[in-house]
Structure 1
Amino acid sequence: MQHKYPQKPGIDFILKQAFFYWNKTLLFQLMFSIIYFGIFLTVFFFFSAKYGIMEQSQEAMKYMKQGLDVYSAEIAKMAATDGYQKFSLAIMGVTIFLYPLNLGFYQIFRKIDLNEKIELGDLFAGYNGLNFFKYISYYMFWFFVYIYTFQTIILAVVWVALTLFVAPLMFFMDKRIFEAVSLNFKALKMYYVEIFVCIIVAVIFKYIGFAVFFIGGLFTFPFWNAIIYSLYKTVFSEKG
């Protein structure tokens, strides 16, 4: 398929389009969050209890009174234990496993564009066939780079922007990871203002539901996918 970069859209158009998709799929946003947090928290509490992570964390908190350096040293000692490392691997593994759940929204939003009936099974489109392994392989690559860039914050934001369209390009156009990153970079150079503004809005809205009214976060948490799809649909053309 060919791709092109049309005339620049306004940020207001991209955001209105994203909120349209989000509003049309509130039930699926809720189902996504219930499934995501249900599996994630089950794994979290199971391995936390198995390796005594909560108890170790509470013990380390006692050293806060002695200063940040002492507390940091205790946290470092806890992180070096075999149990904590296995716990971290379990959390990393379930996070990677859950990633393809996001891709289901791309199929749902596309069905809205085509006026097709949406089904709950569409939410699991990212788990269909061998593509599942392609998506989790990409996310493993993305996740490990993100972990190392997160300490600088700025580099983490840049990494997010550089890979914003990789998943939809893989999903809709069957692009390979590095080919998709290259296309993403070209789009970023042309739409950097729109992309960074949308990233900021998406992050704020994604978590504002938890801050304002906790259960509301179940609806706003997956909003990120609507932003990505709206940007992708505006920037790229699949005709050809």
Structure 2
Amino acid sequence: MMQNKYPQKPGIDFILKQAFFYWNKTLVFQLVFSIFYFGIFLTVLFFFDSRYNILSQYAEAAKYAKDGVEVYSAQLAKIMKSNDGFEKFSWALIGTTIFLYPLNLGFYQIYRKIDLKEKLELGDLLAGYNGLNFFKFIGYYIFWFFVFAYTFQTIILGIIWVFVTLFVAPLMFFTDKRIFEAISLNLKALRMYFLEILVCSIVAVFFKYIGFALFFIGGLFTFPFWNAMIYSLYKTAFSEKR
């Protein structure tokens, strides 16, 4: 149910402090997440690149970016047409991204255990892979990804899709809601907390990647920060009957 216990909504500063609290308490888990995530992703990336030599062709096409989008797109089209491994390469990366998605769900369990003052275990990171969770969240992310891939061609629609589905995963994880029921609740939360969600999301995206920009290794700690922000916003927008 929507949060209605407080006469005044928690401020943006409170939501941000709460998110950074969860992140700071779980730095070891952030590092393990990133090593596991990038380890698997890059292994698949370089394995398929060694077979189809896609990355060097991408680099060659990138030289034409300065000549405009049309010229660059034409070069990419040539790659796709001349290299029959391009499609296999693309699907391999998409499949890997989908497989790795449930890893994010582990943080929701970890943050909840922090709230309940329960002992954290490294195995908590794999909560999204336990039993039916794996099929439920893999199915959800396949649906989410292909809608995003289609809408992101216009940029703005892709961003809207991200906001429309911001709380779907935690709602499914904590309250066992179905996808479209969770989207409906997400829309209600957006109407009530739009400014808070917008500002906190911008901060989360900035912080998520700043570690890579300033010092590459730091990105291994900041990359999963998005999950802490979503959980902090989720706690603000929703209360659960326990």
User: Per the shorter chain, which TM-score range?
Assistant: over 0.9
> How far apart in 1 are the matches of 2:59 and 2:148?
28
Q: Which runs of 5+ in 2 are unaligned?
A: none
Per the alignment, residue 13 of structure 1 pairs with: 14
User: Alignment length, in residue pairs?
Assistant: 237
Q: Structure 2: how far apart are the matches of 1:26 and 1:117?
A: 15
CA 1:74–1:16 in structure 2 vs 1: closer, same or farther (change >3 Å)? same
1:52 CA displacement: 1.4
Match of 2:2 among 4, 10, 25: 4
Give the gaps of 5 or more residues in structure 1.
Answer: none
Aligned equivalent of 2:164, options 162, 165, 182: 162
In 1, the alpha carbon distance for the partners of 2:190 and 2:206 equals: 21
Q: Distance in 2 between matches of 1:41 and 1:180?
A: 33
Using the size of structure 2 for normalisation, the TM-score is 0.93
Preserved CA contact (<8 Å) 1:96 1:140: yes
* Segments of 4+ moved more than 4 angstroms: 61-65
Counterpart for residue 118 of structure 1: 120
**One-letter amino acid of the counterpart of residue 183, structure 1:** L
Q: Take 1:61 and 1:190, find their aligned partners in 2: how far apart are those partners?
A: 43
Residue pairs, 1:82-231, within 5 angstroms: 82-231=84-233
2: distance between equivalents of 1:117 and 1:227? Answer: 21
CA drift of 1:87 comes to: 0.4
1-side partners of 2:16 and 2:133: how far apart?
A: 29
Tell me the distance in 2 between the aligned counterparts of 1:82 and 1:92: 17
1:78 aligned to 2:79?
yes
With the length of structure 1 as denominator, give the TM-score of the two structures. 0.94
Contact 1:5–1:187 (8 Å) recurs in 2: no
CA RMSD of aligned residues (A): 1.5
Report the 3-state secondary structure (helix = DSSP H, G, I; strand = E; otherwise coil) of the residue aligned with 1:54: helix
Query: Do the aligned partners of residues 117 and 51 (structure 1) sit closer, same or farther apart at CA in structure 2, a change above 3 Å counting?
Result: same
User: 2 CA distance for matches of 1:159 and 1:204?
Assistant: 19
Stretch moving more, 152-161 or 203-212: 152-161
- Residue 151 of structure 1 aligns to a residue whose secondary structure is helix
Partner residue, 1:232: 234
Q: Deviations 1:81-108 (Å, cap 9, x if unpaired)? A: 4310110000000000000000000000
What is the Cα deviation at residue 59 of structure 1? 4.1
Return 75-84 or 114-123, whichever deviates more: 75-84
Tell me the SS of whatever aligns to 2:85: helix
Q: 1:184 to 1:118 in 2, by over 3 A?
A: same
Residues 120-146 of structure 1: per-residue CA shift (max 9 Å, x gap): 000000000022111011111111111
Larger RCO (CA within 8 A; separation ≥ 6): 1
Deviation at 1:114, TM superposition (A): 0.7
Inter-partner Cα distance in structure 1 for 2:168 and 2:189: 11
Deviations 1:138-158 (Å, cap 9, x if unpaired)? 111111111122232222221
**For residues 215 and 207 of structure 1, what CA distance do their matches in structure 2 show?**
11
Q: Secondary structure at the match of 2:97?
A: helix
Give the Cα separation in 2 of the matches to 1:129 and 1:118: 20
Q: What's the CA shift for 1:60?
A: 3.4
